[in-house]
Amino acid sequence: MMPQLVTVRVERPDGRPIRIWVPVLPVVLVFSPIVVLAVLAAAVACLVYGVSVVRALATGWRIVSALPGTRVDVEQSRTAVLVTIR
C-alpha cells in the first residue's frame, strides 16, 4: 500500500511546534510528469549497468510500499524535526 499522509512537526526553540500534514496522492499527481521522467531515467540507467529493469522497479515499489509506519526524528540543539509517514 502506498503511503497516504506525511506528518511533519517542527519543535522550535521557543517551544511552539509547527505541524504540517501533507497528503501524498495530490503531491504525486502534481509531480507525476517528473515521476515518469525519473522512472524512465532509472530504466535507462538499469539498461546501461546491466540490471534487470523489472526487478529494479519492483524493488523500488516494495520500498515505497514499506514506508507507512516510518518515523524519523532529528534533533539539533533546541530544535527538533519529527516526520511520520502513514
What is the model's pLDDT at position 77? Answer: 84
In one-letter notation, the amino acid at residue 25 is L
> For residue 33, what are the CA distances in angstroms to 27, 53, 61?
11, 20, 18
Q: What is the pTM of this model?
A: 0.68
**Structural domain total, the chain:** 1
Structural domain of 23: 5-85
Nearest one of 63, 78, 70, 64 to 8, comparing CA atoms: 70
Predicted confidence band at 19 (pLDDT cuts at 50, 70, 90)?
Answer: very high
Q: Is the distance from CB of 14 to CB of 80 less than 8 angstroms?
A: no
Model pLDDT for residues 36-86, shown as the tens digit of each residue: 999 999 999 999 999 999 999 999 999 988 989 999 999 988 889 999 998
Predicted confidence band at 6 (pLDDT cuts at 50, 70, 90)?
Answer: very high
